[in-house]
Amino acid sequence: MKNLLKKIFLIDLLQGLRVTFRTQHPKNIVTEQYPQQRPMVAERYRGAPRLNINPENGQTLCIACDLCSLACPENLIVVGWERNPETKRKDLVTFTYDTSRCMFCGLCEDACPVDALELTQDFELASYSREGAIFDRQTLEEGIRPTKYRF
Partner 1 sequence: MPDDPKPEGANTPESAPQPEPAAPQSPSAEPAAPVAPATAAAPPAASAGGAPPAPAVPPKPPAAAKPAGAAAAARPAAPKAPAVMAATPWESELTADLAAEFGDRISAFQSYLGQNFLVCQPGAAIPILESLRDNHGFEYLVDVTAVHYPDKPEPFELIHIVYSFERNERIRLKTRLKDGEKAASAVPVYITADWLEREVYDMFGIEFEGHPNMKRILLPDEWETFPLRKENSILKMDQRWVQENLGIESGQ
Partner 2 sequence: MPGTFLDSTELVLNMGPQHPSTHGVLRVIVKLDGERVLGTECVIGYLHRGVEKIAENRTYTMFGPYVDRMDYVAAVSNGLGYCLAVEKLLNAEATPRAQAVRVILTELNRIGSHLLWLGTHALDIGAITPLFYCMREREYTLNIFEKYCGARLTTHAFRIGGLQYETYDGFEKEVLEFCDLFEPKVDEYEELLTGNRIWVERLTSVGILNADDCKAYGVTGPMLRAAGVQWDIRKAMPYSGYDKYDFMVPTRVNGDTYDRYMVRMAEMRQSVRIVRQAVADIPAGPIMAKVPKIIKPPVGEAYVSIEAPKGELGYYIVSDGSTQPYRCRVRPPSFVNLQALDKMARGSLVADLVAVIGTTDIVLGEVDR
Binding stretches for partner 1 (CB under 8 A): 66-67, 69-70, 75, 77-80, 90
Question: Cα angle at 61 between 52 and 69, to 5 degrees?
Answer: 85
Q: For ligand SF4, give the closer residue by CB, 45 or 104.
A: 104
- Quote the CA–CA distance of 58 and 49 in Å, as a whole number: 18
| 3 state SS of 78 | strand
- CA 95 and chain centroid, separation: 19
Query: Which region, judged by CB under 8 A, interacts with partner 2, from 50-58, 70-78, 87-95, 125-133?
Result: 70-78
| Nearest by Cα to 117 from 55, 57, 46, 58 | 46
Residue 43 contacts residue 120 (beta carbons within 8 Å): no
Kindly tell me which residue out of 9, 54, 59, 73 binds partner 2, with binding defined by CB under 8 A: 73
Q: Which of 47, 53, 63, 132 binds ligand SF4 (CB under 6 A)?
A: 63
What span, in angstroms and rounded, lies between the C-alpha atoms of 125 and 133?
A: 8
What is the contact mask toward ligand SF4 in residues 2 to 41, using x (rule: CB under 6 A)?
Answer: ----------------------------------------
Selection from partner 1, ligand SF4, partner 2, none that 78 binds (CB < 5 to 8 A by kind) is partner 1
CA–CA dist 59, 114 (Å, integer): 13
- Does position 71 interact with partner 2 (CB under 8 A)? The reply is yes
Q: Which is nearer to partner 1, 80 or 106 (CB)?
A: 80
Regarding 8 and contact with partner 2 (CB under 8 A), the answer is no
Interface with partner 2 (CB under 8 A), residue total 26
Amino acid sitting at position 85: P
